[in-house]
Chain A
Amino acid sequence: MPYLSIEDIVASYGDDVPVLAGVGFSIEKGEIVSLIGPSGSGKSTLLRVLVGLTKPKSGRVCLDGVPISYVNKKALREARDRFAIVFQQYNLFQNMTALRNVTVAPIKVKKRDPRQVEEEAIALLEKVGLGDKLHVYPDELSGGQQQRVAIARALALKPDILLLDEVTSALDPELINEVLDTIRILAKEGMTMLIISHEMAFVKEVSSKVVFMDEGKVVEIGKPKEILDNPKTARAREFMAKILRH
C-alpha cells in the first residue's frame, strides 16, 4: 500500500473554473516525487490542498492508510501535523530571529518544553548550515539562507512528508545551490518529499518519480529519465521542449 495516496482531487478558487480537475498519484515512504508542469497547471494548489490551505471539493487523501479529512479545524491541525510546506518566498516571520522562527510553533502550538525545542532547533539549523545565524533576523539573511531556515522550521514539526513549492524559483542564481544541497541532505536521510521545481537537472538527479501536470490534471507519470528525456505524451513533450531550450 502506498504511503501517501492522492485520489481524484477536485479544487477551485471560487465557483467557476476548477484549478484541479481530478488529480491523483501515490508516493511511497522515502520517495521523492517531483511535480512539474506549466504555470497554472495546479501544482501549487495541490500542495495547498494537502496542507489544508485550500479546501478540496472532492477526492481523497490517505496517509499510511489513514484518510485525511480537511473538514474541520481539528482535521486541519492533524493534516498539518503530517505535512509541512515551504513556500517560494516570504516564508520567515520577519519580526523573529532564525531560531525563534524555528521554535515558535513547537513551543506555542505543540506546547513542548522550550529548552528541548531550542536544542532541537539549533541542531536543525546546524544541519542546514546556519548554526552561526541563530539570532539573525530574516532581513539580514540572503534569500538562500532564508529558505534554508524555512526548511529547518518545517522539519522542526517532524512532518511525515515535506512539501516544497518552487523553493528556489525566487532566488538569485548563485543562491540556488545552497538550498538544493540542503534538499540533497534530506533526500539522503530518507525524508519523503513532494517537490515542485523548475530546476530540471536537479529533478532528474534527486527524484524517484516525476509527475507531469497540465490544466489541473495529471498527464504523465514516470521515472525522471523517461519523462524528462523522452516524454510519451504530446503535452509533456511540448513542455520539455520549451523548458530545455536554454
Chain B
Amino acid sequence: MWASFLEEIPRFFTYYNGIFLLQAGARTIGLSAIGCIIGFAIGFFLAIIRISRERSFLPMRLFSINFVEFFRRVPFLVTLMLIFFVCQALKLQLSVFTVAMITVCLIASGFIAEIVRAGIESVHITQWDAAEVLNLSMAQKLRLVIVPQAWKVILPPAFSFFLSFIKDTALASQIGVIELTYTGKVFNNKGFSAILVFGTILMMYFIISYPLTRFGRWMERKLAISKH
C-alpha cells in the first residue's frame, strides 16, 4: 500500500493539479468572504429593523425575525437545495457558483444579523436616550453614537463566524461548485487514493483557516485591551 502511495505523489502534485487546487481554494475563500461582506450589509439592515421600536415597522420586524431564524435553523445543504430549485423554477439560468453565492449571502446575513443585534444591544440604553434628547435622527444616532461603540462587540464574533463559514462552504460542492471539496471528489474519482486526496484537501483548508484563526485571536486580544 505504501508503495502505491509513494508512486502516486508525483502524479498528484503536478503543476496543473496545483493550479486547479489553488483556483478551487480561491473559490472557497471567495464564497465565504463575499458571502460575509454582503451578509454583513444585509444583516446590519435586518438588525436595525429588528431593534426599532416604531409601530409602523412591525411587519418589517416580523419579516426580519423570520428571515433570520429561518437561515439560522435550516442546514446549509437544505437551504442550498431550496435556492437551487427555486432559481431553476424561476428559469433564472444561473451558474452553480452564483446559486451558491446567493445561498451563502442569505445564510451569512441570518447569522450576522444576530451578531450585529447583540452588538447594538450591548450599548447602554441611556446612550440612546441621550442621543434622542439631543434630537439626533435615527441615522445620526447609529452613525455617530451607536455603531462606533458597537463595532468592537460585533467584530470578534463576526470574524469567528467568517472562519466557521469557510468550512461550511464545503457543502457547495454538492451542486457542483468547483471549490476545494469538489476537487477532492474529482481527484478521488480519477483514481488517486482517498487518503492522499482528502488528506491534501484537509491540509488546504487548514492552511487557509489556521492563520486566520490566529489572527482572529490576536485581534480579540487587541480589542479587549483597547476597551480598558
Contacts and interface: CB of A to CB of B under 8 A. Distances in A.
Contacts of B145: 93, 95
Interface string B126-143: 110111111110001000
Contacts of B131: 93
Contacts of B149: 93-95
A109 B134 contact: yes
Interface string A138-177: 0000000000001001000100000000000000000000
B144 A90 contact: no
Interface stretch (A12-20, A81-89, A207-215, A236-244): A81-89
B126 A53 contact: no
B196 to A, nearest CB: 53
Contact of A87 (B130, B136, B148): B130
A77 B130 contact: no
Contact of A95 (B133, B134, B148): B148
B214 interface: no
A150 B127 CA distance: 12
A93 B144 contact: yes
A108 interface: yes
B55 interface: no
Interface residues of B, number: 16
B226 to A, nearest CB: 10
B91 interface: no
Interface in A81-125: 81, 84-85, 87, 89-96, 104-105, 108-109
A193 to B, nearest CB: 16
A85 B130 CA distance: 8
B124 interface: yes
Nearest to A76: B135
A108 B145 CA distance: 12
Contacts of B126: 87, 89-91
Contacts of A87: 126, 129-130
A52 B140 CA distance: 18
B205 to A, nearest CB: 38
A52 B133 contact: yes
B129 A80 contact: no
A115 B134 CA distance: 19
Contacts of A92: 130
B136 A109 contact: yes
B124 A105 contact: no
Interface residues of A, number: 25
B148 A105 contact: no
A150 B124 CA distance: 16
Given A93-B144, A95-B149, A105 B134 contact: yes
A90 B127 CA distance: 6
A104 B137 CA distance: 12
Contacts of B132: 52-53
A21 to B, nearest CB: 23
A128 interface: no
A218 interface: no
B135 A77 contact: yes
Nearest to B143: A108
Contacts of B124: 90
A189 to B, nearest CB: 22
Interface string B101-139: 000000000000000000000001011011111111000
Contacts of B140: 108-109
Residue of B124, B133, B148 with most partner-chain A CB within 10 A: B133
Interface in B136-162: 136, 140, 144-145, 148-149
B149 to A, nearest CB: 5
A53 B128 CA distance: 10
A161 B126 CA distance: 20
Given A87-B126, A90-B124, A93-B127, A108 B133 contact: no
Given A105-B135, A109-B135, A157-B134, 8 more contacts: A51-B133, A76-B135, A93-B130, A93-B144, A104-B134, A105-B134, A108-B140, A108-B144
Interface of B: 124, 126-127, 129-136, 140, 144-145, 148-149
- Listed from nearest, the 5 A-B pairs whose CB atoms lie closest are A90-B126, A105-B134, A95-B148, A90-B124, A109-B135
